[in-house]
A and B are shown apart, each in its own frame.
Chain A
Amino acid sequence: MNPALQGVIIVVLAVAVCVGYFWSSNQILDRVIFPAKGEKAGQNINRANMVRPWLFLFPALLVLGVYLAYPVVETLRLSLTQRVGSGYEFVGFDNYVQMWNEPKFREALLNNMLWLVVVPAASTAFGLLAAQLTDRIGWGAVAKSLIFMPMAISFVGAAVIWKLVYDARPLGQDQIGILNAIYLGLGGDAPQTWLTIPFWNNFFLMAVLVWIQTGFAMVILSAALRGIPEETVEAAIVDGAGPLRVFFQIKVPQIMGTILVVWTTITVIVLKIFDIVYAMTNGQFETQVLANYMYDKLFRANDWGVGSAGAMVIMLLVTPILVWNVYNARKEMR
């Protein structure tokens, strides 16, 4: 059978199953368990309505439980065990200690910190700048869609594009990497293999993520800027504030909540950063990050214990930021 046809059938079938589930479960609730008749009709209706939300939530809770909650517990368990001959044995925090003593892990931790500081700050700042500059300009919408477009490219795709940007050809050949072309054009002596220059190569990798996330920040912040009451801006202008002061002292403080949400959202993405590093350097030349370290341990070295420990560290770092982010986002919505 044609795969496309198969896909269509699956979609139709899946929707039918969902409809069937919701319809029949509600029927059972209303007709069999708490029928809306007889002496306790009123009480039954109230009870049925209390149970009903759970009927709708159940499939989502089930899937989340199996694919999210259970793996977390299992990863935690694996991180406290090590593989022996026939199975696993409990080793306490040995995996964590071993990991901590590995230079590559510390390098990953430090690099992650660096990413954490640079990428959200740069993305938010560029996004805010783009949002402000494209506001109320005729061709602003075109500029915005151009800046937003990288959001539609997968991290791996973006990594491939940027690898070409950083590409180096021997001296004398045409440089297809634009960075080397510019570098030589400005009088550089020899083409550089940018991604192998320790420390700075981290920033070349970060540029990719900043390129992607700026569009996201811009769209959200642009909407927030539009939400600022025009009169407060006019009042500030009459009060004698120049464009910069209007921006930094009137506009930015009024959208601070949104800026924080954008910042923390990007922070979470940064903590999980994997694809870009994997596709561009694979953690060589001192560019290792936590997620790629975890992947190395888990699927290359087949050391499930240490790999799981790495995963737990990432989760522990992400959780507080995520909680804070959700808290702020809710506050913004109110």
Chain B
Amino acid sequence: MATIDFDNVQKSYGEVHAIRDFTLHVEDGDFCVFVGPSGCGKSTALKMLAGLEATSAGSISIGGRDVTELGPGKRDIAMVFQNYALYPHMSVRSNIGFGLKMRGQDKADINRRVEAAAETLELTSYLDRRPRALSGGQRQRVALGRAIVREPSAFLMDEPLSNLDAKLRVQTRSEIVNLQKRLGVTTIYVTHDQVEALTMASKIVVMRGGVIQQIGSPDTLFAEPANIFVAGFIGSPGMNFFRGPVEIENGRAQTRFGEQVVPLSVSPDRLPRGEAIFGIRPEHLKIGGETGGTPVSLGLVESLGTEKILHFPTPEGQAIHSLQKVIGSDDAARDSTTMLARVIDDRRYSDGEHVRVALPEGKVHVFDPETQKALS
């Protein structure tokens, strides 16, 4: 059990900076998720914590002990790899017990602890099998077993669910969370999947291009994204963005969305002159009604039973054409000229239908067009 601290850690490969100014404090027992699009440096950060990659500058401590110069074996951590990394020539029992054997524990002790770990993960009947005779989910559990049997001060997990099928992934997700809660071991978990991050983490670190974008709880990240990238990355579907004028009316700031005048909760002196970028989550948009809002004609209607995703064009002149660059090419499905609304009701919507869309007060996020940072 331990806290984990990154202090101004840097990693560069020659001229390329993979990680810049990485500073993070993880509390004892936290489930901390590093999330971001591929190539954002999250795996590199994890490998530096594991000691498999050297840091270029800065220091890392585990449990208050500076481990920056220590080898991986001496950091008292256990790691779960994306491809499980089971030793193919060893039985499940030897796989789980390998770390203990390397630490010179006596055989009876190893056996007792391996069997206890196997019991926890329901692997008892597979102990004498080779990894290749196991299914993907079972291999995953062996990899977890190898981590928990050591009783380390921290678990490091590198996309451990990405090789499982969708159903098993959801199931294993909750198993890992429960296991972590029961053991109370500080865990660093890397994923590119923001749903995994939101559902599992007690603390999320959103990364992009080697730089931390925001650190916070899932609720904080969802409700108060620090910048356009985080706002677009977290949530499914991600936030809608549009350009709008900044107007001051009777000392209160407002903008326009199509025909609608949208009052803003941000104080006028914090807003830029002229124009700003605004964001609204698909689930916050109000659809329907005879008056108010702005009329739009629906494009695609995706129905998931009761839940529906409605596509409609961004009002004339309010699309942000550089959006792809801002939120990263990862989200290729996003089209800056289309906005999405997520509704749960019994109405049937059809393509081409005319409806009114309204932005409720207090749900609109404002971003600085220059720095892309959130304004509040």
Contact = CB atoms under 8 A, between A and B. Distances in A.
Interface of A: 229, 231-232, 234-242, 245, 250, 253-254, 256
Residue picked from A235, A237, A242, A245, most chain B C-beta under 10 Å = A235
A259 to B, nearest CB: 12
A238 B98 contact: no
Query: What is the interface residue range for chain B against chain A?
Result: 20 to 34
A259 B188 CA distance: 39
A235 B73 contact: no
Nearest to A240: B73
Contacts of B85: 229, 231-232, 234-235
B103 A240 contact: yes
Contacts of B82: 231
B99 A237 contact: no
A256 B89 contact: yes
Contacts, number: 65
Given A238-B77, A239-B102, A239-B146, A232 B86 contact: yes
Contacts of A231: 81-85
B87 interface: yes
26 contacts: A231-B81, A231-B83, A231-B84, A231-B85, A232-B85, A234-B52, A234-B79, A234-B81, A235-B86, A235-B87, A236-B102, A237-B52, A237-B71, A238-B51, A238-B72, A239-B98, A239-B146, A240-B73, A240-B74, A240-B102, A240-B103, A241-B102, A245-B102, A254-B88, A254-B89, A256-B89
Interface string B86-118: 111110000000110011000000000000000
B78 interface: yes
B275 to A, nearest CB: 49
A179 to B, nearest CB: 41
Contacts of B78: 238-239
Contacts of B77: 238
B102 A235 contact: no
A253 B146 contact: no
B79 A238 contact: yes
Ranked nearest first, the 9 interchain pairs of A and B with the lowest CB-CB distance are A240-B73, A231-B85, A239-B99, A235-B85, A253-B89, A240-B102, A231-B81, A238-B79, A238-B72
A237 B72 contact: yes
B277 interface: no
Residue picked from A231, A234, A239, A256, most chain B C-beta under 10 Å = A239
B102 A229 contact: no
Nearest to A234: B52
Contacts of B215: none
Contact of A232 (B50, B51, B88): B88
Nearest to A232: B85
Contacts of B84: 231
Nearest to B50: A238
A235 B84 CA distance: 9
Nearest to A252: B89
Contacts of B51: 238
Given A235-B146, A241-B73, 5 more contacts: A237-B52, A238-B51, A238-B77, A239-B99, A240-B102
B52 A232 contact: no
Nearest to A235: B85
Nearest to A233: B85
Contacts of B79: 234-235, 238
A204 B74 CA distance: 46
B52 A238 contact: yes
Contacts of A240: 72-74, 99, 102-103
B296 to A, nearest CB: 50
B49 to A, nearest CB: 11
Nearest to B147: A238
A232 B146 CA distance: 12
A242 B73 contact: yes
Contacts of A242: 73
Given A254-B88, A254-B89, A256-B89, A238 B83 contact: no
